[in-house]
Each structure stands twice: as C-alpha cells, then as structure tokens.
Structure 1
Amino acid sequence: MNKNVTSRQELIDTAMEIARTEGIHKVNIRNIARKCSISVGVLYNYFPNKTELIFAVVNSFWADVIQNLSGMVPQSTCFPQFVSQYYAMINEQLSEFEKDWLTQLETMPPEDKKRGRELEDQCFQVLLDVLRKALHRDTSISESVWSEEYTQEEFLQFVFHHLIVLLHAGHKNCDFFEKTLRKILY
C-alpha cells in the first residue's frame, strides 16, 4: 500500500470505473484505496469525505458528456435531428453507469443535494448552450415561430427539460419528441 498515486484524476478515473461496473453506491473511499493500492489516509488527502468524491465523479461524468457533445459533428442543421443525436449521445454515456445512479444521488443529505444541484446547474448551462447553438444553425426555422410570448429561450428550456425527463425515464430514444419538435418548428 505504499504506491504513490500519480494524480487526483487517477482516483476519479478509478471511481468512475467502479461506478460504471459496480454502481455508484459502490464508490467509496475504501474501494478506491484498495483498487489504487494506497492507504485510506492518502485518499483523504485528495477527498475529505465520500460526498466530495461523489461530486468529483459526477462532475467528471458531465465534463465527459460536454466534451463529447462539443466535439459532435451535427448530421445536419435540422434542429430536431440534432436533438435526437444529442439525446442519443447523452443516453449512451448514461447507459455506461448503473441505470439508477441518478436516483441514488437523490439520497444525499439536503446540504449536499443543494451543492450538487449548483454543480448540475453549471453543467446544464453548458448543455443548454450546445442546444442554443444548434437552434441558431437551423436556418429552416421561420422567424415567425418566435414572439414575445413564445421565445427561443423558453423553447430551449422546454426542450432541455423534456430531454432530462426522457433520460430519467430511461427512454432509448427521443423519436416521438423529435417529431413533436418538427411539428412545432416547421
């Protein structure tokens, strides 16, 4: 157990692997220390408690999603088609984890949930920006679709909210939602 850990990232990567293969409920200080062949005390130098470790795992997960989405080459400028591609990519990455890992995170104490929601909101703003750019790329959408009562921003919030609902519900795709977006936009 005298191995030197090369980085905090190595610990996060190990935690991510445990979350993928065994479920997020198996991510804990002892399991990671054992897998990295280090003492528990060394791990506490990087993460003062399990909650900090879980936040690091979740943050790393969303950073990976954002990186993959940012590098995604749209198959077309069609916004509804992009939404399907976007959904498929996020859903694929979520499927690497135990299905109910998002639900397991809901069992955190209230003060940790608050912090978790703040981190989640930061990630979600970046994800919304990806959708915003895709919406602006679609020149087939008539400007007459938008008004003071029906803004692009509210529409984007609606789209994002429903994608999250579909992900939580475990839908394999968002085909019907894509059709709905086509009806609204064109």
Structure 2
Amino acid sequence: MNTVVTSKEDILKASRTLIQKEGWSAVNIRSVASACGVSVGSIYNYFDSKAALMGAVVESVWCEIFHRPENGAVFQDTLACITWLYGRMEYGCKQYPGFFSLHSLGFLGEDKSDGRQKMQQTWQHILEGLCSVLRRDANVRPDAFTREFTAEKFADLLFSLMLSALMRQDYDPGAVLEIVRRTLY
C-alpha cells in the first residue's frame, strides 16, 4: 500500500466518488484509504474515527450540492432562489442517488450525532438564506409581511415544501413559485 500523504480534500473527494459509484454504505476508512491509494493510518491522520470521516463527508456533499453560484443575483430574487434550490436538489439526487433520503434517515440515530448536526447546520443555513432573500427581494410587496406572518414563517413554509419535495424526488418548483407569486407579489 502506498503511504503517500494525501490531503483532507482528496479524502473527501474520494469519499464523494465512492458514494456516487457505490452508495453511502461503501464509505468506510478502508475503502476511502484504498480509493486514495494511501494506508488506513493516513486517513486517521485527518479523521480520528469513522464517525468523524462520515460527518466531514456529509458536510462535503451538502456543500457541493448547495455551493454558492458565481452569479449572486440568484439571492436577490425569491423566485430565482427557489428555482436555483430546486435545481440543486435535482443535481444532488442525480449525483448522489438516495443521499437525501438515506442521509436524513440514516443520521437520526444517537451514534450519528455528528452527521445529524452537519445536516441540521446545512438546513439552518438554507433557511436563513431564504429569509435573507425574502427581505432583500425588491419585488416583494411592502405589506406582504406582518407581525403574525413574518418572513421567517414564510421561509419556514418554503423550506418545509422543499424538504417534502426532496423526499418525493419532485424537482419541479412550479407550485411553490405560484405560492410565492400569489402571496408576496
């Protein structure tokens, strides 16, 4: 076995490739070491346990799927943002078949708290991003939000619809876009 030092990013990239080709269950210390062409000990130089590796891989996959686009204008318009999010969900499903549903269900156990935390951090980041877009969108009517119906509550609704679409593998944002148009514009 080659004991050449690799990088954390190489390890995560190899892990993502394993998920794409063989599914989530293929990722373990030995298989990742083999994919990187390094010893098992080299992986442990970066990750002190399989759980630490898995948590980092989960974060890496989420970051790849929902990386910031070069065109930041998508975060100035609610309709464009939702369209982008649904497109990224579709991309994620194609690149990592079953990742959303398996990841969500697989990280609910107590021994997977790091993975669950990474998932929840990503979800929180997306939810906060939706709130920010709703507040910045110049097309939103000034009276669209009230004390009872806040941007946060609407973002939470949009996010719930997004999670439901993920589980159904429905990447057509049409109905959600119509809800936004009728509610805010």
With normalisation by structure 2, the TM-score equals: 0.85
- Structure 2 residue ranges without an equivalent (≥5): none
Number of aligned pairs?
184
Q: Aligned pair in 2 of structure 1 residues 72, 54: CA closer, same or farther (>3 Å)?
A: farther
In structure 1, the residue matched to 2:92 is 93
Query: 1:85-139 CA deviation, whole Å, 9 max, x = no partner?
Result: 22212321332002x2233332357223433332222222322233223222322
In 2, Cα distance between equivalents of 1:85 and 1:33: 35
Indicate conservation of the 8 Å contact 1:80/1:178, yes or no: yes
Alignment equivalent of 2:101, drawn from 100, 103, 119: 103
Q: Does the CA contact (< 8 Å) of 1:79 and 1:134 recur in 2? A: yes
Residue matched to 2:145: 146
Q: Which moved more, 1:56-65 or 1:128-137?
A: 128-137
Say which is worse superposed, 74-83 or 17-26, in terms of deviation. 74-83
Distance 1:159 1:52, change over 3 A: same
Please give the alpha-carbon distance, in whole angstroms, between the structure 1 residues aligned to 2:151 and 2:74.
22
Number of the residue aligned with 1:122: 121
| Counterpart contact for 1:80–1:179, Cα < 8 Å | no
**Counterpart in 2 of 1:161?**
160
Aligned to 1:15: 15
- Mark the runs of 5 or more structure 1 residues left unpaired by the alignment: none
Please report the TM-score for the alignment, with normalisation by the length of structure 1: 0.85
Task: Summarize the Cα distance change of 1:115–1:95 in structure 2 as closer, same or farther, 3 Å threshold.
Answer: same
Matched AA of 2:33? A
Q: Structure 2: how far apart are the matches of 1:113 and 1:162?
A: 25
2:47 corresponds to = 47
